[in-house]
Amino acid sequence: MNIADRFIKQNSLTKDEFIELILLAEQDSAVQQKLTEEAVRLRKKYYGADVYTRGLIEFTNYCKNNCYYCGIRKGNRNVKRYRLTKEEILECCERGYELGFRTFVLQGGEDPYFTDERLADIVRAIRSGYSECAITLSVGERSYESYRLLREAGADRYLLRHETANEELYENLHPKEMEFARRRQCLYDLKKLGYQVGAGFMVDSPGQKLWDLAEDLVFLKELDPHMVGIGPFIPHHDTRYAEEPAGSVERTVLLLTIIRILLPAALLPATTALGTLDAAGREKGLAAGANVVMPNLSPLKNRRQYELYDNKICTGEEAAESRADLAARVEKIGYRLVSGRGDAWSRDTIHTC
């Protein structure tokens, strides 16, 4: 039994075995095809042909952190900063609801202006106006008490990419005041509080080795998150990694396939980064086992200001207004865009193959 067959059978490997699997799949198209077929089978078992949509609201590009790879890092003085008001955020939700979105994702830098009280007030207002919708937050590292308050205000989900499970690589990508252990603890705090939790990492980030990716996969198996967001590294011109090459779309798609087998019931986005590097990148992600897309509900005037990396797609089918075009592209590869909340799988929603 080769390493791919063993992985399909037991859906878990050691770090050394994950390296062997990645290398084998990248060298042998038949192995990659076998993994893809299993990933698609599992994706259809747990979620059928449904592709869930999340309405993304990028509500602030202020950030107190100085992550070395990020275009909105604190030290970048060329960024035109903005914050959406509570009223503007609610207008985004209203427009998104009319377009058929039933999940709103509030994403921003770690902006001190949005205290627990301010953010909880916004969450409560969304919950009051859209009781049947899911509210997802993606606002970085906060205290346990902060996460608890936001959960009680009505937040359902929380996205916090761990970026890398290798401490040395984490320290190469972040300033010393950002602690590797702290990032991990936040994820476990969120799970303890009952959030649907999303983790994730960059593919081919500067200095990353196959061993690092294997560590990510082992960590994901241990954490068992509800969602995993991965995307290829894309450089930003105002960072120290401006001249580094972008990550591989092909390797990212392979890793989506592996993660689907590793965590069969996870929600897996086909990310904007995939679509930025490859016009068909999100379709490739969906065909490899992904089942979530996140069109942009942010005001048009602010979309280009939330530039985490260069050339981020901000118009066309990335925008929520082009939902019909996105639906057509999804249908073309055999899936269907749906309007529900798209919660993580439970035994009540299993599909038959």
Supply the pLDDT for residue 312.
78
How far is Cα 227 from Cα 160, in angstroms, rounded to an integer? 10
Helix 249-262 with 210-223: angle, nearest 10 deg: 30
pLDDT score, position 345: 83
Distance between CA atoms of residues 261 and 45, nearest Å: 12
Tell me what the mean pLDDT of segment 36-52 comes to. Answer: 97
pLDDT of 86 over the 90 cut: yes
The per-residue pLDDT of the chain, averaged, comes to 93
For the stretch 317-331, pLDDT in tens is: 456 557 788 889 999
State the pLDDT at residue 353: 35
- Going by C-alpha positions, the residue among 155, 145, 250 that lies closest to residue 198 is 155
* 55 pLDDT above the threshold of 70: yes
C-beta separation of 199 from 226 below 8 A: no
pLDDT of residue 26: 97
Q: What is the mean pLDDT of residues 180-205?
A: 98
What value does the mean pLDDT take over residues 116-130? 98
Nearest C-alpha neighbor of 20 from the set 39, 42, 5, 38: 5
**Residue 67 pLDDT:** 97
Beta-ladder partners of 269? 292
Q: What is the pLDDT of residues 146-159, one digit of tens each?
A: 999 999 999 999 99
pLDDT at 234: 95
Written as one letter, the residue type at 125 is A
Give the span between the Cα atoms of 239 and 24, in whole angstroms: 34
